[in-house]
Structure 1
C-alpha cells in the first residue's frame, strides 16, 4: 500500500495476461489474491482516497514532498544495509552521506540538501531486492492485506525494513506512533493519486495490471533499472509510481 510502484508490459500483454490465466503469471492462488486485492481496494476507496484528497486540499506540494522526504530519510539505514549486502560499497557510502546531511542540514530529513546541493540522489534498496541480487527466485505472486502486491521473496523486506527504520528505535507513545504512521500512508496515497487514476482508466483488469506491473518493476529494481521502457505504452504510469521524493 505504501509503495505500489510499477513497470508494466505493453497493453497487448495486459489483455493477453487476462486470457492466459494465472499459471503463466505464477499466481497459483489467484482467487485468494483477488479477494485480498478487493479488500485493499475497498480500504482505499472508503478510507485512504478521501483522506488523501482532504490532505491535498489543505497542503501544498512542497509540504507533501517534505513529509515524504522525512519518512524516506528514516528508512535510509535499511538502504545502506542492503547496499552493503549487495556488494555496492560506493552506493552505501553515498547513501550514508545523504543520511547524515539530510538529517542535520536537512532538518531531520524534511529537506533534501544532499541532492539539491551535492547532487547525491537517493535510491531505495530493500531485502527483497537483495535476495533477488543473490539469485533467489521471486516465487508465487501474493497480495498482502493493506500492503498490497508482493511475492514469496519480497515479503522478507517488511521485517528487515522495520528493524532498520530509525522510528523503530525512537521512544514514542502509541498515539504519536499511530499518527505518524497514518500521516505517512495518507501522504503517500496523495502523491500516488495520478498513477492510481491512470491504472483504473487504462487497465482492462486492474488486478492483472497491478500484478504485471509489480513483477516488472521488481525485476527492474533487482537489475538497477536496466530495463528499457521505450516501447511501453504505460511508461508515464511507471515513471510516476517510481518517482523519488522531491523529483
Structure 2
C-alpha cells in the first residue's frame, strides 16, 4: 500500500511537473510572438547579432546628370531648347512693342490734323469756274498784249536801264516791307530794310543803284501785309483770280489794299491816272525783265491753271513760315 501510494504520488508529481513545464513553454512562446517584428521575412534569430547601420559619408554625392526633356512651345511663343533641364530657369518673358503714350498720340493726331487742314485748304477752290475764265483772260492778255509790248520795250530800253527803273520803284516801296517786318517781329528784316533805304537813297542816287546788295550783301525782305495776317493766324480764304492782276487769295487781296495805303507814291502822286500810268510802266518794265518767264512751262503741263494755283499757294505758305 505504501508502495502504491508512493507510486501514485510519483506519477501525480510527474504530471504536475509536465503541466507546469507546458504552461511555461506556452508563455514563453506568446511573449516571443509579441516581440517578433512585422517583417515578412522575419527578424534575426535568437542567436543572431545586431550590427548597427553605418553613418552616411559626409561628402555630398555628385549631382545626377540633367534629365533631357523634349522641346515644348509655351503660350507666349518662347520655345524651350532641346537641351533644357529640369532645373532650367523659367522661360524669358516676351518683349512687347513699345506703346505710344496718350500725349504722344494726341500730339501726332494734332500734327496730322494740321497737315490735313493745309491740304484741304489748298484743295478748296469754290470759285474755280470764275477763276479759270479770268485766268484764261489774263493769259491771253499776257500772250497777245503785254508780251509783245515788253518785246518792243526791250528794244528801246536796254536791260541795264530796266534794272535801274526796277531798283527805283523797289526803293520807294520800302515802307510796306519795313512796317510789316516790324509787325511780324522780324527785327532783322526791319533793320535790313532801313539800312538798304538809307544806303541806296544816298550812295545809290535815289535808289537807282543797289550798293547795299552789291557791296554789303544786304538782301531785300519780302514781307507784306498778307503775310502779316497769316503770321497772326488768319486763314488764306479762297483762291481768287481777277483781271489785270496776279493770282491771290482773299487774305492777300486785303493785304495788297493795306500795302497800297503805305506806298509813298500814292501821296506824292495823288491823281488816279498818274498812279495808273506809273503802275502800267512798272508792270511793263517788270515783264520785260522776266520776258522768258514760263517759257516752255506752259507746254509741259496739262493743267496750267492748277499748276500756277498750287505753286502760288505753296509759295505763300512758305513765306509765312520763314
| TM-score between both structures, scaled by the size of structure 2 | 0.59
SS in structure 1 at match of 2:234: coil
Superposition deviation, residue 58 in structure 1: 2.2
SS in structure 2 at match of 1:148: coil
Residue 185 of structure 1 is matched in structure 2 by 283
Give 2:131's match in structure 1, choosing from 33, 39, 49: 33
Alignment of 1:81-92 (within 5 A): 81-92=179-190
In angstroms, what is the RMSD of aligned CA positions? 1.9
Task: List, as ranges, runs of 4+ consecutive aligned residues in structure 1 with deviation greater than 4 Å.
Answer: 172-176
Are the aligned partners of 2:181 and 2:187 in contact in 1 as well (CA < 8 Å)? yes
Are the aligned partners of 2:122 and 2:310 in contact in 1 as well (CA < 8 Å)? no
| TM-score between both structures, scaled by the size of structure 1 | 0.76
Mapped pair 1:59 → 2:59? no
Residue 170 of structure 1 is matched in structure 2 by 268
2-side partners of 1:29 and 1:83: how far apart?
32
Q: How many residues align?
A: 203
Which consecutive residues of structure 1, in runs of 5 or more, have no partner in the other structure? 1-21, 225-247
Superposition deviation, residue 221 in structure 1: 1.0
Mapped pair 1:210 → 2:210? no
Residue 52 of structure 2 is matched in structure 1 by none
Are the aligned partners of 1:37 and 1:148 in contact in 2 as well (CA < 8 Å)? no
2-side partners of 1:24 and 1:154: how far apart?
15
2-side partners of 1:129 and 1:199: how far apart?
27
Are the aligned partners of 2:122 and 2:313 in contact in 1 as well (CA < 8 Å)? no
- The higher-RCO structure (CA 8 Å, 6+ apart) is 1
- 1:99-118 C-alpha deviation (Å, 9 max, x unpaired): 12112221221110111122
2-side partners of 1:148 and 1:102: how far apart?
28
The structure having more radius of gyration, on CA atoms, is 2
- 1:149-191 C-alpha deviation (Å, 9 max, x unpaired): 1112111121122111121111365664343222101011122
Alignment of 1:54-203 (within 5 A): 54-171=152-269, 176-203=274-301
1-side partners of 2:274 and 2:247: how far apart?
28
SS in structure 2 at match of 1:197: coil
